[in-house]
Amino acid sequence: MRSFIAIELSHEIREAMAILVKDLQKDGIQGRWVSPNNIHLTLRFLGNIRDDQAVEIGKLMEEVAKGFFPFTVSLEGLGAFPHAARPRVLWVGVGKGKDHLIHLQGELERRLTSMGFAPEDKAFKPHLTLARFKFPKEEVRRRVYQACRKREQARWGVMEAASVVLFESMLSPQGARYRKVKEVALGGPSS
């Protein structure tokens, strides 16, 4: 199964992202938009894993979660990787809670690497992916740059990160659908 570990967004943050995506589309930004229902805070993309690996990853998540308590995350700003003038990914950033997320992701990464997963080749930068661009035209690049400048100080809301989730990603012509495989509460029991 194609899978990843993430933190789900609160209903309020999901609604704020839906409004933001509509506004950006009205600004004429064309790209592959992530459905607001599918936006989440990815901690680690795993790729294809077997069912037995999913069980082991669930246990690993439980062990890691014991060392963390729920924490506040604020969603702020708008930016693009690698740069707003050359966008490939349009994202919303994290303010408060960023250090907790980096620490949580680092602990997951360390344990996944010891399980045999190849280490990530880029430093973890907590964000919500809103859209992707393969080869954006000059007009799209200009509009993304303007949108990022206009919203670089914007605040989209605050939520509590209380659990981590192992998701299965099922791809279809209509887009990706996600199924929860395992959810683990931070500092508490799992479901």
Q: Which residue is associated with the tokens 């607001």?
A: 36
Please give the C-alpha separations between residue 170 and each of 38, 52, 129, in angstroms, as whole numbers: 12, 18, 18
CA atoms within 13 A on the CB side of 43: 29
Q: Would you say how long the chain is, in residues?
A: 191
Assess contact for 18 and 36: CB atoms under 8 A: yes
From the list 11, 40, 83, 103, the catalytic residue is: 40
Tokens 């907590």 correspond to what residue? 126
Instruction: Let me know if 100 is a catalytic residue.
Output: no
List of residues 6+ apart from 60 with CB closer than 8 A: 108, 111, 112, 115
Active site residue 40: yes
The span from the CA of 159 to the CA of 179, in Å, is: 22
Token pair recorded at residue 137:
């035209």
Please tell me whether residue 84 adopts helix, strand or coil conformation.
coil
Q: How far is CA 31 from the centre of its chain?
A: 18
From the list 83, 100, 103, 127, the catalytic residue is: 127
Known catalytic residues?
Answer: 40, 127
